[in-house]
Structure 1
């Protein structure tokens, strides 16, 4: 990591990921030790987690959600990893009813077309506004993105209602196939 952090941020925005690759190569063993000590993760799982965190970090920079590098990048990235691990633990500890509801929703979500899945992911999980969704999806403007999101959400709820009511052999069969 010889290049200054401000220069690295500029390079990341332009799509040059060499800074992140270098960070990964320099930090992966240290990260694996930290993950094993703090969270009992095996090295392979720790390396996968670090790669995922670096991809999330890159997305934050590329999307403009992160406009300047944190003063201590390593602590920032380890904090992101900590949050992901906590989220996984929280999900694992959900009551069975909630876990079942989430599994049903994931099954129904997987029945949506890829465009609907992407629109809903961008809006609800990435927190993109309609302008950004429109840009990412190639829609004419934010209004089109809003209409698409509403349409996709309506499809998701209709599929869920059909599956819950047991209506239609094709809904049950396609849900079982997923």
Structure 2
């Protein structure tokens, strides 16, 4: 996959829902990715395969949503970069102990939120979606509804955190 014509064809087929390229990509790169993840991030093969599945789905979402309008010349390097960013974002190794603990508590509280609230906050804060795009993804009537829902979800997370801080 190196010519611009082939890259354009892959991008078009992904946009219409044909995922055969992604399945083939996953199967061809699974073992290499597991080796890379073990060397770079000390991940076990099972965790590496799960990470690869996650970033391949994220890559597909980027193409389907139109956030990725041009396929990168080296898709493997792009996917590995997404994986590296994801691992570094969840890693607390380089943080001071107090910050690491705070981040772990916040993540645990985040997981207690409902699935819709988790999605809403992930879309806004981690994927950088605007309220229009969030409304479309979540099935809301308009961007104002998305804004209100995000505010409600953030308030829930804040309220969960307040009693936890009083104990800690």
TM range (shorter): 0.7 to 0.9
For each residue in 1:121-153, what CA deviation from the matched residue of structure 2 results, as whole angstroms up to 9, or x when unmatched? 211122111001111111110011111111221
Residue 88 of structure 2 is aligned to residue 83 of structure 1: no
Residue 97 of structure 1 aligns with which residue?
Answer: 98
- Runs (4+) of structure 1 exceeding 6 A deviation are none
Aligned residue for 1:54? 56
Gaps spanning 5+ residues in structure 2: where? Answer: none
Bigger mean CA offset, 78-87 vs 134-143? 78-87
Q: RMSD between aligned alpha carbons?
A: 2.5
Q: How many angstroms apart in 2 are the aligned matches of 1:40 and 1:108?
A: 26
Larger radius of gyration, structure 1 or 2?
Answer: 1
Distance 1:97 1:132, change over 3 A: same
In 1, Cα distance between equivalents of 2:113 and 2:40 = 38
Q: Residue in 2 aligned with 1:109? A: 110
1:1-150 aligned at under 5 Å gives the runs 4-89=6-91, 91-150=92-151
Residue ranges of structure 1 left out of the alignment (5+ in a row): 167-178
TM-score, normalised to structure 2, is 0.82
Q: Would the alpha carbon gap of residues 51 and 115 (structure 1) be closer, same or farther in structure 2, given more than 3 Å must change?
A: closer
Give the length in aligned residue pairs: 165
Task: Tell me the TM-score normalised to structure 1 length.
Answer: 0.78
Alpha-carbon separation, structure 2, partners of 1:110 and 1:87: 16
